[in-house]
């Protein structure tokens, strides 16, 4: 049967394009570690604080009518951290800014600034967790703050052949071994933190270790809800012998810098007393107009801060876990 003479889209000239205003971007922007930190103020590029401790409990029996025991002086420990400058720049040409674009109207610069702000927060989250050492910096080297990974040098369980960092000498840890996370390892580190005087309230893991914890047989609650036919197979709260801890998954923990890949055999679980952690800001988030030397607009977003760990023995870590 012969086709009727009809116009087809294949031949039509002048059909308007159909471009949605929706711009899909599923890159994660939640930053759970920085969100849980107390916010402090820094007044210099090197911000300091003090740690102290009490003498260990000992037998204490005095003679009746005796002179007062000799005083024993114990000095505080003075520690500190360098602030790190985090920055992103957005720049668009005058032509791009003038055109009508899908999903953000004419203001391309505002759209790019929103993206760069989210990226900046992700960079801060990564640094405050993963940086092993700090750097004072100089005219050619940027300052770097020490992250949680470099502050915790006690209350730990590590792989065979691995070493822990030493914040007092600014020494990075050495990773080694390859073992699976077990509930016994977690219990061990929680007990160490408690014995050292900490009151841990959060367990922070990467997504892989988060799933392992949900599979712990002695603590996992897995049941069928007949009403809505839902199978529950996760642990959000871990009831330890030394208190209740919230379990937080962090997508940026253990990521290789500049990558979405988790470092092989270097999975980490942190046990933290969050009230002993803070972000010390020398400069809060700010946006600056950059000098214009041509047909474009440019802005810089920056923040300057350090991770402040009030008492490093209030936290613990399990390292060198299979990823």
Element housing 125 (H / E) = helix 108-130
User: Average pLDDT over the chain, rounded to whole?
Assistant: 88
What's the chain's length in residues? 323
Greatest distance between any 2 Cα atoms in the chain: 123
Tokens of 232: 């529950």
* Residue (of 49, 37, 53) closest to 197 by Cα position: 53
By three-state DSSP, how is residue 49 classified?
A: strand
Hunting for tokens 């039509």 — which residue is that? 12
For the chain, what percent of residues have pLDDT higher than 90? 67
pLDDT tens digits, 38-61: 999 999 999 999 988 888 888 999
Using an 8 Å Cβ cutoff, are 206 and 250 in contact?
yes
pLDDT tens digits, 92-117: 999 988 888 888 877 888 889 999 99
Question: How far apart (Å, rounded) are the C-alpha atoms in residues 7 and 164?
Answer: 74
Hunting for tokens 């911000």 — which residue is that? 47
pLDDT tens digits, 258-312: 788 888 788 999 999 999 999 999 999 999 999 989 999 999 999 999 999 999 9
**pLDDT band at 221, cuts 50/70/90?**
very low
Question: How far apart (Å, rounded) are the C-alpha atoms in residues 118 and 283?
Answer: 17
Sign of the CA dihedral running 149, 155, 158, 161:
positive
pLDDT tens digits, 191-204: 999 999 999 999 99
Residues 6+ apart with CB under 8 A from 105: none
Element housing 167 (H / E) = none
Predicted local distance difference test score (pLDDT) of residue 156: 96
Q: What is the pTM of this model?
A: 0.88
Sign of the CA dihedral running 311, 313, 319, 323:
negative
Residues 6+ apart with CB under 8 A from 309: 81, 148, 151, 276, 277, 315
Question: How far apart (Å, rounded) are the C-alpha atoms in residues 271 and 191?
Answer: 10
Instruction: Please compute, for residue 184, the number of CA atoms within 13 A of its CA located in the half-sphere on the CB side.
Output: 2
């Amino acid at each position: 049967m012969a086709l009727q003479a009809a116009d087809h889209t294949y031949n039509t000239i002048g059909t308007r394009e159909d471009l949605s205003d929706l711009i899909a971007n599923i890159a994660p922007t939640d930053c759970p570690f920085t969100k849980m930190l107390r916010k402090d103020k820094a007044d210099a590029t090197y911000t300091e604080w003090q740690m102290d401790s009490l003498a260990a409990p000992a037998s204490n029996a005095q003679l009746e009518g005796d002179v007062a025991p000799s005083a024993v002086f114990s000095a505080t420990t003075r520690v500190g951290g360098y602030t790190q400058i985090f920055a992103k720049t957005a720049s668009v040409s005058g032509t791009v800014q003038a055109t009508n674009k899908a999903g953000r109207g004419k203001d391309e610069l505002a759209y790019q600034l929103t993206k760069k702000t989210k990226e900046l927060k992700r960079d801060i989250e990564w640094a405050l967790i993963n940086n092993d050492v700090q750097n004072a910096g100089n005219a050619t080297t940027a300052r770097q703050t020490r992250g949680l990974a470099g502050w915790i040098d006690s209350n730990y369980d590590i792989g065979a052949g691995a070493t822990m960092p030493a914040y007092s000498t600014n020494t990075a840890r050495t990773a080694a071994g390859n073992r699976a996370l077990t509930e016994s390892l977690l219990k061990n580190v929680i007990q160490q933190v408690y014995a050292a005087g900490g009151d841990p309230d959060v367990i922070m893991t990467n997504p892989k270790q988060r799933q392992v914890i949900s599979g712990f047989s002695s603590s996992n609650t897995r049941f069928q809800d007949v009403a809505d036919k839902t199978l529950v197979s996760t642990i959000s709260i871990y009831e330890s012998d030394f208190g209740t801890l919230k379990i937080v998954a962090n997508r940026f923990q253990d990521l290789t810098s500049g990558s979405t890949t988790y470092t092989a055999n270097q999975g980490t679980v942190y046990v933290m007393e969050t009230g002993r952690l803070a972000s010390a800001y020398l400069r809060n988030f700010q946006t600056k107009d950059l000098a214009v030397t041509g047909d474009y607009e440019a802005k810089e977003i920056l923040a300057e801060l350090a991770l402040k760990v009030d008492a490093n023995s209030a936290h613990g870590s399990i390292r060198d876990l299979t990823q």
